[in-house]
Amino acid sequence: MNRNLKCLVYAALCLALCMVLPLLTGQIPAIGKRLSPMHIPVFLCGFLCGWPWGLAVGAIAPILRSALFGMPAMGPDAFSMAFELAAYGAIAGLLYRLLPRKPWSVYVSLIAAMLAGRLVWGLAKWAMLGPSFTPELFLAGAFVNAIPGIILHIVLIPPIVLALNKAGFTENNRRTEP
């Protein structure tokens, strides 16, 4: 199968997962929001298909989910999340392609993408809300309240990516060793 067609199918699957996964935790909003289930398929898309696909799925998912289900709330929440998730997918995919084929590169790509995405989220929120979005609100939203999701992502995503890599799903997105 053509690589672009494979990526289109994988990206569509990841986008569908972005719509469905939050339904599993949405019955308990305090937990669901902290686990950030929509982030998981975006990271996976970046790892599977590369940065352009990860960026696209990340940018579309929060806005589409807001339009379909009302969550996240349209406006600053969905739009700032779109910037955040686009950064997640793009940076995870880009770093994963550039780093050597070692298990640690999955962790480095994931953690770097998580940090950069949170900074992008903070900048987007600040651009939309202005000075009312304080550094304290940024730290609480990006890190303190997100600790359960950060832990879940670090524990869950690398083993999935490594298993998919071993099965040959991500090989086309990797650079070859020199």
Q: Which domains does the chain have, with CATH numbers?
A: 3-173 (1.10.1760.20)
Confidence at residue 63, expressed as pLDDT on a 0 to 100 scale: 97
pLDDT digits 0-9 by tens, 130-165? 999 999 999 988 898 889 999 999 999 999 999 998
Confidence at residue 173, expressed as pLDDT on a 0 to 100 scale: 56
Average pLDDT rounded to a whole number, residues 63-88: 94
Q: Is the pLDDT of residue 115 over 50?
A: yes
DSSP letters spanning the chain: --HHHHHHHHHHHHHHHHHHHHHHHTTSHHHHHHH-TTHHHHHHHHHHH-HHHHHHHHHHHHHHHHHHH--SPTTHHHHHHHHHHHHHHHHHHHHHHHS-SSHHHHHHHHHHHHHHHHHHHHHHHHHHHGGGS-HHHHHIIIIITTHHHHHHHHHHHHHHHHHHHHTTSSGGGSPPP-
Confidence at residue 177, expressed as pLDDT on a 0 to 100 scale: 45
Confidence at residue 28, expressed as pLDDT on a 0 to 100 scale: 76
Do the beta carbons of residue 54 and residue 89 sit within 8 Å? yes
Quote the tokens at residue 47: 């790892």
Average pLDDT rounded to a whole number, residues 33-47: 94
Confidence at residue 9, expressed as pLDDT on a 0 to 100 scale: 95
